[in-house]
């Protein structure tokens, strides 16, 4: 993708670059989009604890969920909030993901595995 020339309002919009598509093999994908609870995630992940409003339940310190190896933060946990809070959750989750991947340990205080 690239930005187009500005339109009448001055806004530049993303446009496709033909032939720029590629596949990137991955063992893990971290999804970080959206502002409301998407029921597809919760509905397709057995054992993932959610609230009555379909938000994911996560430990506030580690952002670990009820499912081993799954972390959640931002709007999917708190509901709509500021980008600053989501960024903070992202940093906290990254640290917790790193700790989990390097140690393999999941069981800690506050976890509901």
Total-model pTM: 0.59
Asked whether residue 109 carries a pLDDT value surpassing 80, the answer given is no
Looking at residue 58, its pLDDT comes to 92
Of residues 33 and 29, more confidence is placed in 29
Q: How many CB atoms lie within 10 A of CB 41?
A: 17
- Confidence band (pLDDT; 50, 70, 90) for 110? very low
Query: If you count them, how many residues does the chain have?
Result: 113
Handedness of CA 27, 107, 94, 103 (dihedral sign): negative
Q: What is the structure's pLDDT at 36? A: 67
pLDDT tens-digit readout, 39-62: 777 778 888 998 888 888 999 989
Secondary structure (H, E, C), the chain: CEECCCCCCCCCCEECCCCCCCCCCCCCCCCCCCCCCCHHHHHCCCCCCECCCCCECCCCCCCECCCCCCECCCHHHHCCCCHHHHHHHHHHHHHHHHHHHHHCCCCCCCCCC
What is the model's pLDDT at position 107? 66
Domains of the chain and CATH, by start: 28-108 (3.50.50.60)
8 A C-beta contact, residue 78 and residue 85: yes
pLDDT tens digit sequence for 91-102? 999 999 999 998
């Amino acid at each position: 993708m690239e930005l187009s020339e500005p339109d009448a309002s001055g806004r530049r919009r993303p446009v496709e670059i033909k032939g720029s598509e590629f596949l990137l093999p991955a063992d893990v994908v971290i999804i970080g989009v959206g502002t409301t609870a998407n029921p597809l995630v919760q509905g397709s992940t057995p054992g993932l604890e959610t609230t009555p409003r379909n938000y994911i339940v996560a430990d506030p310190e580690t952002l670990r969920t009820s499912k081993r190896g799954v972390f959640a933060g931002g709007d999917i946990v708190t509901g709509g909030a500021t980008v600053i809070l989501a960024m903070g959750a992202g940093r906290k989750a990254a640290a917790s993901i790193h700790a989990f991947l390097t140690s393999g340990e999941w069981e800690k205080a506050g976890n509901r595995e």
